[in-house]
Structure formats: structure tokens, C-alpha cells
Amino acid sequence: MIIPTSVELHAFLIGFFEVLCPWKPQHQITDQAEYQPAKEYHYYLAGIAAGFISLALILIILCKLGKELLS
């Protein structure tokens, strides 16, 4: 089993929560920032994909729950 490093996990989580949380991020990732997700860009993109799928599933569940409560 391959265990991701903390940098890879961090890149994944940044991508995941950029999509899952609907509000604007408080900190921008710039060239001067300490952390650069481009170094682990594939983990960042996987996080974005997982966040989008999670958000879609949450919205579907909430819609179905709302429909059941209103019926």
C-alpha cells in the first residue's frame, strides 16, 4: 500500500476544499506563497474532482430530503 506524503495529501485537500466549500478562499496561492500546489498538481486535480463529486452528491441528497419533507 502506498501512503501519500504530507505534501501530496495537502495538495489533495486544498483542491478538495476549494470545490466543496462554496465561499471565496481567504488566502490566495501566489508565487510568493509558502505552498505551491503545482509541485503536486495531479493530487490537486484529484482533490478538485473528489470535491466536485462530493458536492454533487450532497446536493442530490439534500434535494431528495427536501422533496421527502415537502411531500
pLDDT grade, residue 11 (50/70/90)?
confident
DSSP type of residue 40: G
pTM: 0.74
Instruction: Decide: 17 and 50 in contact? Cβ < 8 Å.
Output: no
d(CA 42, CA 71): 43
Q: What is the pLDDT of residue 60?
A: 96
Each residue's pLDDT tens digit, 24-68:
766 666 667 666 666 778 888 899 899 999 999 999 999 999 999
Instruction: Decide: 35 and 42 in contact? Cβ < 8 Å.
Output: no
Instruction: Decide: 36 and 43 in contact? Cβ < 8 Å.
Output: no
Please tell me the least confidently modeled range out of 3-7, 13-17, 60-64: 3-7
